[in-house]
Structure 1
Amino acid sequence: MTTPIMSESEVRAAVERELPGVRADLERLVRIPGIAFDGFDHSHVERSAEAVAELLRGCGLDVEIVRSGGQPAVIGRKAAPPGAPTVLLYAHHDVQPVGDLSLWQSDPFEPVERDGRLYGRGAADDKAGVMAHVAALRAYGDRLPVGVVLFIEGEEEYGSDSLERLLEEHRDEIASDVIVIADSGNWDVGVPALTTSLRGIVNLFVEVRTLEQAVHSGMFGGPVPDALTTLVRLLATLHTDAGDVAVEGLIGRDGATVDYPEERIRAEAGVVEGVEFIGTGRLTDRLWTKPAVSVLGIDAPATGEAPNALVPSAKAKISVRLAPGDDPKRAYEALRTHLEKHVPWGAQVTVTIEHDGSPCVIDASGPMFDAARSAFRTAWDGTDPVDIGVGGSIPFIATFQEMFPQAAILVTGVEDPHARAHGPNESLHLGEFARVCLAEALLLGKVAEVARD
């Protein structure tokens, strides 16, 4: 006999009951500085994985900590009731480095509430994603209407280098009918969203050399080019005068349908007064469906330490976001060709890749997507969810698409435009977090209902 699915009122009451404990456990996770980047203490990533494993065991799941040459991931499983589908719930427990501590208003690893937001590194990205899954599981307890597999990654912020190997090694264990990836965001506070496209990424380094060693700028400046000026001129070739990407061969397309007002982007990005936007076309296309090139850093003498000498070599890190439909390997070759072609004055140039990842487009149609929209609409008190693109990258979604082509992939998240993920003073809107937890719990019930119909 089929177990009755909890009613909407029962789910609401259960989620509300669990939220205080969920928040307390979220704060405990935020206190663990689990940074997977080189140069950081990775014992904290181990601690973070253990803490997540403990949370999942508390939900009655069979749990193991796994790795494949990288940082630890956590897999938790609970078998489906007879005839019910299985849902994979993804999030990640590692976090970004904090950067300049002086820019934080409070300790990044000591969660603090201010004006309805919980501040701390990972509070939004993505430990709240982990805890949204936990909240849904706790709400159902022993009445879970579907099977679940939780896959909580430990190096997403560092590029997910070992994720594909992990997925291959555990493919049979994690095979699911629906995949919920809780690592994106909503359209605004009070407006939920499903992410249906994401850009890909190519990060690379370009180094130019003009001299064997530094030489006196007065004695040789004039005919002899310094490497820093050479690098600046080379980087300037990446954009047209209007600010469009000038690299031949990168794909860009139109097609975003959501209106994103200029004033809102300026406010959310913190654009300084008087600064103009770059590029042409609709703003949503520039953000979601066209390539973007950014210079993330330059290795050269600091101004306070620079002698009066011509710089012999200079190096920049470039990040390129690729439009949906582009291929990162081909895009890297286009970038390398451009840089080698446009380097001025015969300088030596070396281009090396750091990492890449594929863009993706999701066909957000079908009964499981309808179920998600219905759950969101209920959790946000009748507000319809918006289908959005995201300018950022989650490359492994393409891997999930290739490995599980029959699964419906729902990209959700806890962030809002003011979350400041990856930046100082990252925060989570606690009211929105409560809605996310309710929406996910309702979604699990609706997925079970779809399977029974």
Structure 2
Amino acid sequence: MTGPVSTTDLRARLAELLPGVRSDLEALVRIQSVSADPDRLDQVEVSARATADLFAAEGVDVQIVRAFDGAPPAVIGEKKGPAGAPTVLLYAHHDVQPENDHAEWDSAPYEPTERNGRLYGRGVADDKGGIMTHVAALRMLGDELPVTVRLFIEGEEEVASATLPQLLEKYVDELRSDVIVIADSGNWDIGVPALTTSLRGLVRVNVEVRTLTHAVHQGMWGGLVPDALITLSRLIASLHDDAGQVAVAGLHSGPAADVDYPEERLRAESGVAEGVQWVGSGPAVERLWTQPALSVIGLDAPKVDGSSNTLIPSARARLALRTAPGETSENALACLKAHLEKHVPWGAQLTVDVVDTGEPIALDVNGPAYDAARSAFAEAWDGTAPVDMGVGGSIPFIAEFLETFPQAAVLVTGVEDPDTRAHGPNEGLHLAEFEKVLLAEALLLRNLGA
């Protein structure tokens, strides 16, 4: 190796390789690798094989692995760099969210379609775009790869990474690295890159209240016996104060990065209906990134059409609590349960069942790996320095990586932008920004090797 490959050369290689990268991305998107759908688990297998083949073509020694027989498939591998070079683990996931109602999509969800500079399709950004970012970086560097690359492409991220701890334990030596690049996040705006430095955690519970042993006539018993839906509604209402701030005592909050999020941009990107006011208090980025947020995401209740004059004996809701960096899921769950027990009205029977939990993350953003990343991003975006960005959502598996590899520097990057609509209809990838992301990762690997 005569020296680090130049930025000019990498740009030229990217221009030559870009059509093939896009073609390979579109082929991945056509695979319906919905890990939450038992009827499409065969497609998750197809996706794992296609992913493995892409990396094998770039000289990566790959294998498809599982935590145990019948577990979802992950792809791991290694491509050696020069002796003594740093080791970099590249992470992404090849499973995708369900597409849900096809009628809400402007084009078929599994047929990649370009409109106005965006490529639309389920998984095009989350996270098959992340896979192709890694593939493209290896293609651009080729035999001039200045680091040893290790690979971990997961197949169950969209169903809470249930077997990830066993996989990390089983393959710890094959995955151990100096730097971990997790390509499953996004950038601050079109034209403005970002490094994700904090993420909220998640606690989800099912809450049920029961006021009757069986349904009874509303006309005969209404006014004396509480119905379960009114009871549950009052309990849910207690979770926030009049300003919409979460009213559960004991939850952690903290400051956020000093980033301006203009009002007009907030309204455009959130899709909030005209005239609706914000809830909570404090800077918008704190409410989105470093304060708890609590929502009802599911409700079991009789439909309006066909309903009868009957007192409902029991009602159930699913609550999703996003927890701030610095919180623990154990404390958050205890605080939420204590609040529900204290505020359940009229002596109703209360049941709280935990669905799942995930820890919040606050990353140490200092050191040579972050210096290398910031330099790479500024070059790829023609002098625009990256923003240190929080994310209100959760990537719980990052905590598993931090626990398993405590000495590694963790960089959270990705291809998304504020209008990506990951998990929703019309998920899209901004193609011009995607090109910058591809260049940035190749520059990052070059910088880490130097």
Band the TM-score falls in, shorter-chain normalisation: over 0.9
Structure 1 residues 159-174: aligned runs within 5 Å: 159-174=160-175
| TM-score after normalising by structure 2 | 0.97
- Secondary structure at the aligned position of 2:322 is classed as strand
1:199–1:393 Cα contact (<8 Å) kept: yes
- Secondary structure at the aligned position of 1:187 is classed as coil
Superposed displacement of residue 4, structure 1: 2.7
Partner Cα distance (1:33, 1:310) in 2: 43
- Secondary structure at the aligned position of 1:41 is classed as helix
Superposed displacement of residue 99, structure 1: 2.3
1:445: which partner in 2?
Answer: 446
Partner Cα distance (1:347, 1:336) in 2: 15
Letter in 2 for 1:253: G
Letter in 1 for 2:291: K
Task: Name the stretch that deviates more: 166-175 or 64-73.
Answer: 64-73
2:231: which partner in 1?
Answer: 230
Identical pairs, percent: 62
- Secondary structure at the aligned position of 2:412 is classed as strand
Structure 1 residues 178-189: aligned runs within 5 Å: 178-189=179-190
Structure 1 residues 106-145: aligned runs within 5 Å: 106-145=107-146
1:346: which partner in 2?
Answer: 347
Question: Would you say 1:80 and 2:81 are equivalent positions?
Answer: yes
Partner Cα distance (1:39, 1:230) in 2: 36
**Aligned CA distance change for structure 1 residues 359 and 11 (closer, same or farther; 3 Å):** same
1:32–1:47 Cα contact (<8 Å) kept: yes
2:256–2:289 Cα contact (<8 Å) kept: no
1:251–1:291 Cα contact (<8 Å) kept: yes
- Secondary structure at the aligned position of 1:415 is classed as coil
1:89–1:148 Cα contact (<8 Å) kept: yes
Segments of 4+ moved more than 3 angstroms: none
Letter in 1 for 2:433: E
Aligned length: 448
Letter in 2 for 1:127: K
| TM-score after normalising by structure 1 | 0.97
- Gapped regions of structure 2 (runs ≥ 5): none
Superposed displacement of residue 288, structure 1: 0.5
Superposed displacement of residue 40, structure 1: 4.3
Letter in 2 for 1:249: G
1:34: which partner in 2?
Answer: 33
Superposed displacement of residue 379, structure 1: 0.6
Superposed displacement of residue 301, structure 1: 1.2
Partner Cα distance (1:100, 1:150) in 2: 34
Task: Name the stretch that deviates more: 51-60 or 216-225.
Answer: 216-225
1:412: which partner in 2?
Answer: 413
Letter in 1 for 2:403: E
- Secondary structure at the aligned position of 2:299 is classed as strand
Superposed displacement of residue 20, structure 1: 0.7
Question: Would you say 1:62 and 2:61 are equivalent positions?
Answer: yes
2:386: which partner in 1?
Answer: 385
- Secondary structure at the aligned position of 1:185 is classed as coil
Structure 1 residues 321-336: aligned runs within 5 Å: 321-336=322-337
2:357: which partner in 1?
Answer: 356
Task: Name the stretch that deviates more: 116-125 or 300-309.
Answer: 300-309
> Which digits, 9 at most, give the CA deviation of each residue in 1:295-320, with x for residues without a partner?
10101112223222111111111111
Superposed displacement of residue 365, structure 1: 1.2
Letter in 2 for 1:172: D
1:3–1:145 Cα contact (<8 Å) kept: no
1:282: which partner in 2?
Answer: 283
Letter in 1 for 2:394: S
1:62–1:78 Cα contact (<8 Å) kept: yes
Structure 1 residues 181-330: aligned runs within 5 Å: 181-330=182-331
**Aligned CA distance change for structure 1 residues 308 and 72 (closer, same or farther; 3 Å):** same
Superposed displacement of residue 96, structure 1: 1.0
Letter in 2 for 1:420: R
- RMSD value, Cα: 1.2
Partner Cα distance (1:165, 1:308) in 2: 51
Partner Cα distance (1:170, 1:240) in 2: 47
- Secondary structure at the aligned position of 1:89 is classed as strand
- Secondary structure at the aligned position of 1:151 is classed as strand
2:376: which partner in 1?
Answer: 375
> Which digits, 9 at most, give the CA deviation of each residue in 1:208-260, with x for residues without a partner?
11112222222222211111111111111111111111111111112331111
